[in-house]
Structure 1
Amino acid sequence: MSIELLYFAWVRERVGLDREEVDVPDGIEDVAALVGWLAARGGGWRQALGDLSRLRYAADEAFVGADHPLAGVRELAIFPPVTGG
């Protein structure tokens, strides 16, 4: 399964990309597992994605939790919490 990842704000800055397409390995079935796999790449991915509690997600433009299944997801956005002002 292939998923397009979109990175926003400081997540994008630390990863060094605004988007990438990844082939999800077998056994990665939800957002948390995917983010953990990405963080294991090290470097900017570990810095940006190492703490799930600091991140928010949108699967195909709908907000989801870290336990959301990846089956059928084509696009996953990863971003920090948004604050108003």
Structure 2
Amino acid sequence: MTILLFGIAKDIVGSPTLSVPTSSVTGKKIPKTVGELKTFLSGTYPELNKLSSMAVAVNHNYAEDHEIINSYDEIALIPPVSGG
């Protein structure tokens, strides 16, 4: 599963994309929902926990924590944005 990263999330991870395993090779639970993905990422990248919010988009639509994700979905992490 490939995740697109933007803003500070990209800086924290150190890359504009992140590959999350879709099989249990690592022994960790594979994320099946947006909420599980957030938990997985915050455990892997604790700095993400310091953000005031983190939106997740699945296939170009904002997604709630209960929504199911698949390995073929386009997933994006969207951190808080400021502008002027």
Deviation at 1:15, TM superposition (A): 1.3
Which of 8, 12, 28 is the matching residue for 1:14? 12
Q: Give structure 1 stretches of 5+ with no counterpart.
A: none
Change (3 A) 1:72 1:22: closer
Q: Is the 8 A contact 1:60 1:73 kept in 2?
A: no
- 3-state SS of the aligned residue for 2:41? helix
Please, what is the CA RMSD of the aligned residues? Answer: 2.4
CA contact (8 A) 1:32 1:52 kept: no
Instruction: Name the TM-score, length of structure 1 as normaliser.
Output: 0.72
Q: Give the structure with the higher percent strand.
A: 1
Question: For the structure 1 residues 31 and 51, does the alpha-carbon distance in structure 2 shift closer, same or farther, using more than 3 Å as the test?
Answer: farther
In structure 2, relative to structure 1, the CA distance for the partners of 1:10 and 1:20 (3 Å cut) is same
Query: What does residue 38 of structure 1 align with?
Result: 41
Q: Which runs of 5+ in 2 are unaligned?
A: none
- Number of aligned pairs? 79
Structure 2 CA distance for aligned equivalents of residues 28 and 81 of structure 1: 23
Q: Deviations over 1:30-58 (max 9, x none)?
A: 111112112212xxx1102x268610111
Give 3-state SS (helix, strand or coil) of 2:35's partner: helix
1:59 aligned residue: 58
Shift of 1:66: 2.2
Name the CA distance, whole Å, in 2 between partners of 1:83 and 1:31: 24
